[in-house]
A and B are shown apart, each in its own frame.
Chain A
Amino acid sequence: MHKITNNEINMHKLTDIEKRLIRNIMEDPDAGTGKLAERVGMSTTACWRKIEKFQELGIIQGFIADVNWKKLGYELEVSLRITLDKTQKDAFEAFLSGARKIREVNEIQTFLGRVDVRLNILARDLDHYQSIYRNEILNLPYIAEVEALMIISDVKRSNVLPI
């Protein structure tokens, strides 16, 4: 697929109504095309075409199901902040490819800062977490330091950008 650069989008410049549509989609991703069209004041067909266009441009990458893991028995969510031994030149690649194989890891992020990588871990309970931590995480290569944050609650979670 053709990769769209920032410049192309900037050249394209979104109109006010397009911005309003994107904002509405971000705020209410469950809304159907008809409802969105009504909210931003365009016809359903035009709205549908715009959404297609946003997907072609890569602005909208897709829609995914929002699953509540707690209801599936995964009561514990832990954010592991990891510092790697960067004197090893393949540290990032080796660590990341190992982390991708752990099924309880549902997010992997890399950073510029004190923390190099963050893994989000879903576990059934503390015993389960302990076994993932000891048998899988600590077996990953080139870990220099690990810090754990246990997530108590999501106070706010949104995808909305202030456009």
Chain B
Amino acid sequence: MISLDDLDRSIVELLIRKQNLTPSEISRDLNVSQSKVWRRIKNLKELGVLRGRRVLINSELLGFGVTVFLGVKLATKGRVSLADFERAVTSIPEVQLVQHVLGLYDYRLRVVARDISDFERVLRRRIMTLPGVGNVEANVLLSEERRFGPIS
């Protein structure tokens, strides 16, 4: 684990809590020089604590009204089939998230679609035809909240 000092932690915390922050705003909030903030952010990036930024998009406004999470169980396992499945599933443009999980399912997918019939098309033509795919469970997303996570 990387040891961070109080200033590093405060910077990470601010970046998690507030959107669209610039280094000058951080330096004002924490009352330290802007160049110091720059150096710390650069260091946090080099350490891999900060992976750059993410954009939050309203998918609905771009015509993607449906988000579905799928739990996928593979019918056949083994190293080759995992690699085949992963290669095929990650190339589907409607699939935004692929997580390898341990538990009731082998993979967890986030799929976006224009509407329910578009989702049916993706499910039938793309997902159900994936190599090795077995049981699939679908849950339609109704709402989503981001929390800050374990920061002080």
Residues of B within 8 A of A25 (CB): 55
A65 and B55 within 8 A (CB): no
A147 to B103, CA, bound (A): 8
Q: How large is the interface on A (under 10, 10 to 19, 20 to 34, 35 or more residues)?
A: 35 or more
Contacts of B19-54 to chain A: CB distance below 8 A: 19-21, 47-54
Chain A nearest Cβ from B140, distance in angstroms: 4
Once the chains bind, are B1 and A73 in contact (CB under 8 Å)?
A: yes
Q: What is the CA–CA distance of A109 and B136 in the complex, to the nearest angstrom? A: 19
A60 and B55 in contact (CB under 8 A), knowing A67-B49, A67-B50, A79-B108? yes
B78 at the interface (CB under 8 A from A): no
Q: Are A112 and B56 in contact (CB under 8 A)?
A: no
6 contacts between A and B (CB under 8 A): A26-B57, A108-B147, A110-B144, A118-B69, A149-B71, A157-B97
Chain A interface residues (CB < 8 Å from chain B): 4, 6, 9-10, 14, 22, 25-26, 29-30, 57-69, 71-74, 79, 100, 103-115, 118, 122, 147-163
A6 touching B60 by the CB < 8 A rule?
A: yes
Give a binary string over B60-90; 1 marks a CB under 8 Å from any A CB, 0 the rest.
1111110001010000000000000010011
Q: Is the CB of A64 within 8 A of B19?
A: yes
Residues A63 and B139 in contact, CB atoms below 8 Å apart: no
Report, nearest first, the 7 A-B pairs whose CB atoms are least far apart.
A113-B139, A106-B149, A62-B19, A65-B15, A162-B93, A111-B139, A149-B103
Q: Is the CB of A155 within 8 A of B90?
A: yes
Known: A29-B54, A155-B98. A100 touches B147 (CB 8 A): yes
Cα–Cα distance between A114 and B103 once the two chains are bound (Å): 16
Q: Cβ of B101 < 8 Å from any Cβ of A?
A: yes
Determine whether the beta carbon of A67 is less than 8 Å from that of B16.
yes
Measured between beta carbons, the chain B residues less than 8 angstroms from A30 are 52-53
**Is the beta-carbon distance between B61 and A161 smaller than 8 angstroms?**
no
CB distance from B121 to the nearest CB of A (A): 12
User: Across the interface, which residues of B come within 8 angstroms of A10, CB to CB?
Assistant: 63
- A29 x B55 contact (CB < 8 A): yes
- Of all chain A residues, the one with the shortest Cβ separation from B138 is A113
B119 interfacial contact with A, CB 8 Å: no
B149 and A69 form a contact (CB under 8 A): yes
In the complex the two chains form, what is the Cα distance from A105 to B118 in whole Å? 32
Judge whether B15 and A163 touch: CB under 8 Å: no
Give the shortest distance, in Å, between A15 (CB) and chain B (any CB).
13
Cβ of B142 and Cβ of A71 under 8 Å apart?
A: no
Please tell me if the beta carbons of B53 and A107 are within 8 angstroms of each other in the complex: no
What is the minimal beta-carbon distance from A126 to any residue of chain B, in angstroms? 13
Chain A residue contacts of B19, Cβ below 8 A: 61-64
User: Is A106 touching B146 in the complex (CB atoms < 8 A)?
Assistant: yes
Q: Mark B101-140, 1 if CB is under 8 A from A, else 0.
A: 1111101100010000000000000000000000001111
In the bound complex, what is the Cα–Cα distance between A29 and B56 (angstroms)? 10
Identity of the chain B residue whose Cβ is nearest the Cβ of A25 in the assembled complex: B55
